[in-house]
């Protein structure tokens, strides 16, 4: 899982199914969510998981109305499909992703 900078964000989400984790390094729940996503990374064929640090990429965070973290957004071919605020259980997240494959 890689942390994506603002300049690369659009190209990273432009094709396929992408799960974006908006986080901050100082956020406890974000670390928990990060651990869950690490378990999932590479295990769902056709899904890319990336992270966006809201402190480093404020423009992207504002663009998608990120007010609380962690916030996870599923994109398909660059279009927002689903937004989830707060911790997301692994099973529920996997189930949501399957809808877009």
| Catalytic residue selected from 1, 3, 24, 27 | 27
Q: How many residues does the chain have?
A: 101
The count of other CB atoms within 10 Å of the CB of residue 59 is 8
| Whether 93 is catalytic | no
SS3 at position 36: helix
d(CA 30, CA 16): 24
Among candidate residues 4, 19, 20, 30, the one labeled active-site is 30
Q: Which two tokens stand for residue 40?
A: 């999932």
* Catalytic machinery residues: 27, 30
């Amino acid at each position: 899982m890689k942390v994506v900078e603002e300049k690369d964000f659009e190209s990273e989400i432009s094709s396929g199914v992408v799960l974006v984790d908006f986080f901050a390094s100082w956020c406890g729940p974000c670390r928990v969510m990060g651990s869950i996503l690490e378990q999932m990374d590479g295990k769902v064929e056709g899904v890319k998981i990336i992270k966006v640090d809201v402190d480093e990429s404020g423009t992207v965070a504002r663009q998608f109305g990120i007010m609380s973290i962690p916030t996870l957004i599923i994109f398909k071919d660059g279009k927002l499909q689903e937004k989830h605020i707060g911790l997301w259980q692994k099973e529920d997240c996997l189930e949501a992703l399957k809808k877009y494959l």
